């Protein structure tokens, strides 16, 4: 009976969940894999902190280098959070020829180039299924199941916290802060939810997916990122009247010029589209390949058990790498001249909401600016209101370059008849 030594770096919610899952399903894993996983060291920053799942005291250390220096440990599972300290762990572990597993999307998004270059040079495999979409096996699918496809597009709802907030705003007419408070009370949002609601948690995942799909590691400065903080019940109501649902959507698509478009922002999705029905804390990813066509992945994108499940899957693959060393380190560059399409040149249709003076000539002024920018108007909504001096004005705009639309809206905002800040949202038709 072979036993493989494991080192856990981090014992928070996910780390404790992995430890518990290894204990719960140890026999099942042995019967399926023919090996046993034995946790031999656990590195944690605050050993005295009370936890729902207790770690054996004899395994605890406060220094992750103890995991790297322990010759009985073959695999290190990094679940620490942050980027600086985990990056140092990765550098040391790769030099020591330790196989690595991580759920750290920010680490990979920001330092993937360095990490995979080091791993390739040292012939050390890295597994990271849990870094994107929790329990959904999307990394393995991109790398293996769809390896023979050119990817035409990938669209995803990749952040459960923001999706829960938007769902509650839609279902119960809550404002953003009410829905965020409810998410925090249920444990669906962190005390500091910044990366969830500003779009960057989803953006880190989108960078990993796009890099895998198109064969070159993307830089975070090259992608468009927007959050849901400024979405109001008014926008959700108007979107519903127009036949749409608002979601925080990650969009990745290739263009005829071979440039790759990557963005994360709140977008209007047709109510009839499958992604519009993804609610609560669930994630979904829609992939379109040139051979396979469309494939949908749906499931819990975060949380202790779904993430632990993906880590166990990576452990199973890592066990095979221990027995049969492999050449692949986890990322294979195959598009060394790949480029990201400039944000300002990406084309979309748009939803524009304005608060304006209710008087003749206002729409003409706005249409004049849009016309000069070569942006057409497909429909207009101006509801009757109790205020006889101001009204809401909603315009659905035809396809236009993002830069041109943003510049036109900036000019519209300077009109004396426009009150407050305009709201400009993308409309996604998945073409």
- Give catalytic residue positions: 205
> Quick one: 112 exposed, middle or buried, by C-beta within 10 A (0-12, 13-18, 19+)?
buried
Count other Cβ atoms within 10 Å, centred on residue 35: 18
CA angle 239, 240, 241 (to 5 degrees): 90
Could you give the 3-state DSSP secondary structure of residue 16?
helix
| CA distance readout (Å), 355 to 44, 103, 267, 380 | 52, 44, 20, 13
Residue 50, both tokens: 């009370």
Q: Would you tell me the crossing angle of helices 160-172 and 233-241 to the nearest 10 degrees?
A: 70
- Which of these, 302, 409, 290, lies nearest to 348 by C-alpha position? 409
Rounded CA-CA distance 426/248 in Å is 10
**Cα 24 from chain centroid (whole Å):** 29
Burial class (CB in 10 A: 0-12, 13-18, 19+), 351: buried
DSSP 145: I
**Between vectors from CA 358 to CA 353 and to CA 360, what angle results, nearest 5°?**
110
Helix, strand, coil percent values for the chain (each to nearest 5)? 40, 25, 35
Please tell me the distance from the alpha carbon of residue 279 to that of residue 112, in angstroms, as a whole number.
31
How many residues in the chain? 431
108: helix, coil or strand? helix
Q: What are the two backbone dihedrals, phi and then psi, of residue 278, each rounded to the nearest 5 degrees? A: -85, 110
Listed residue (89, 23, 11, 87) closest to 50, CA to CA? 11
Whole-angstrom Cα distance, residue 114 to residue 282?
32
For the record, the structure tokens of 361 come out as: 């000539």
Two tokens, residue 313: 């899957």
H/E segment holding residue 2: strand 2-9
Q: What span, in angstroms and rounded, lies between the C-alpha atoms of 417 and 361? A: 9
């Amino acid at each position: 009976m072979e036993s493989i030594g494991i080192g856990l770096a981090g014992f928070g919610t996910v780390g404790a969940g992995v430890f518990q899952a290894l204990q719960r399903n140890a026999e099942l894993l042995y019967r399926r894999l023919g090996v046993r996983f034995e946790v031999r060291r656990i590195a944690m920053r605050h050993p005295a902190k009370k936890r729902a799942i207790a770690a054996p005291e004899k395994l605890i250390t406060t220094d992750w280098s103890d995991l790297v220096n322990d010759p009985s440990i073959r695999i290190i599972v990094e679940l620490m959070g942050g980027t600086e300290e985990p990056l140092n762990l990765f550098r040391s572990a790769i030099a020591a020829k330790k196989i690595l597993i991580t759920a750290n999307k920010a680490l990979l998004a920001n330092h993937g180039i360095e990490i995979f270059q080091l791993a390739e040079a040292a012939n050390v495999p890295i597994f990271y299924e849990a870094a994107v979409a929790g329990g959904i096996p999307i990394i393995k699918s991109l790398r293996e199941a769809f390896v023979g496809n050119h990817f035409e597009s990938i669209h995803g709802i990749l952040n459960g916290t923001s999706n829960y907030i938007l769902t509650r705003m839609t279902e119960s007419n809550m404002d953003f802060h009410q829905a965020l408070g409810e998410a925090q009370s249920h444990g669906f949002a962190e005390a500091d939810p910044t990366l969830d609601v500003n779009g960057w948690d989803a953006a880190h995942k989108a960078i990993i997916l796009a890099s895998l799909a198109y064969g070159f590691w993307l830089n975070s400065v090259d992608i468009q990122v927007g959050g849901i903080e400024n979405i109001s019940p008014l926008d959700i109501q108007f979107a519903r009247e127009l036949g749409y649902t608002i979601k925080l959507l990650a969009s990745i698509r290739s263009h005829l010029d071979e440039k790759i478009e990557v963005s994360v922002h709140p977008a209007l999705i047709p109510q009839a589209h499958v992604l519009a029905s993804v609610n609560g804390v669930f994630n979904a990813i829609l992939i379109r390949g040139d051979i396979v066509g469309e494939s949908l992945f749906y499931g819990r994108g975060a949380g202790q058990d779904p993430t632990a499940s993906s880590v166990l899957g990576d452990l199973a693959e890592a066990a095979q790498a221990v027995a049969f060393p492999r050449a692949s380190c986890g990322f294979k560059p195959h598009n060394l001249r790949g480029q990201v399409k400039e944000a300002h040149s990406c084309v979309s249709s748009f939803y524009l909401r304005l608060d304006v003076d209710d008087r003749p000539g206002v729409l003409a002024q706005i249409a004049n600016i849009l016309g000069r920018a070569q942006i057409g108007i497909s429909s207009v909504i101006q509801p009757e209101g109790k205020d006889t001096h101001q009204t809401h004005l909603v315009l659905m705009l035809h396809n236009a370059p993002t830069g041109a639309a943003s510049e036109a809206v900036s000019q519209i905002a300077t009109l004396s008849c426009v009150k407050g800040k305009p709201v400009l949202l993308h409309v996604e038709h998945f073409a």
